[in-house]
Amino acid sequence: MAFDAEPTRTPVNIGEVTIVLRTDPNDAAQQQGALFEIEVLLSDGTNVNRRGDLVPHITTAQRTALMSFMDSLRTQAETEILP
């Protein structure tokens, strides 16, 4: 008796895309970082998630804009939350 063949699965759509931006002034080696998770929907109705470091996948201009955004958000948080 033959083994059942593995079904062919092809990506058909992109589901949820999640980005996590972090900033930590107490960690000089990893002061800022960005992670991604992308849900890939497959032809057999299942999905897989791809995760990783976002930085290799963005342009220098995008990285600069994200760093600027995080700097301004940290400043806003310090101004509005701290006494």
pLDDT at 30: 66
Q: What's the rounded Cα separation, in Å, for the pair 34 and 19? A: 7
Which residue from 29, 7, 9, 33 is spatially nearest to 20, judged by alpha carbons? 33
Contact partners, residue 52, CB within 8 Å, separation at least 6: 35, 36
Which residue from 27, 33, 25 is spatially nearest to 55, judged by alpha carbons? 33
pLDDT tens digits, one per residue of 4-63:
988 889 999 999 999 999 988 887 666 889 999 999 999 999 999 999 999 999 999 999
pLDDT at 1: 86
| C-alpha distance from residue 73 to each of 11, 19, 23, 28, 47 (Å) | 36, 16, 10, 19, 33
pLDDT at 32: 85
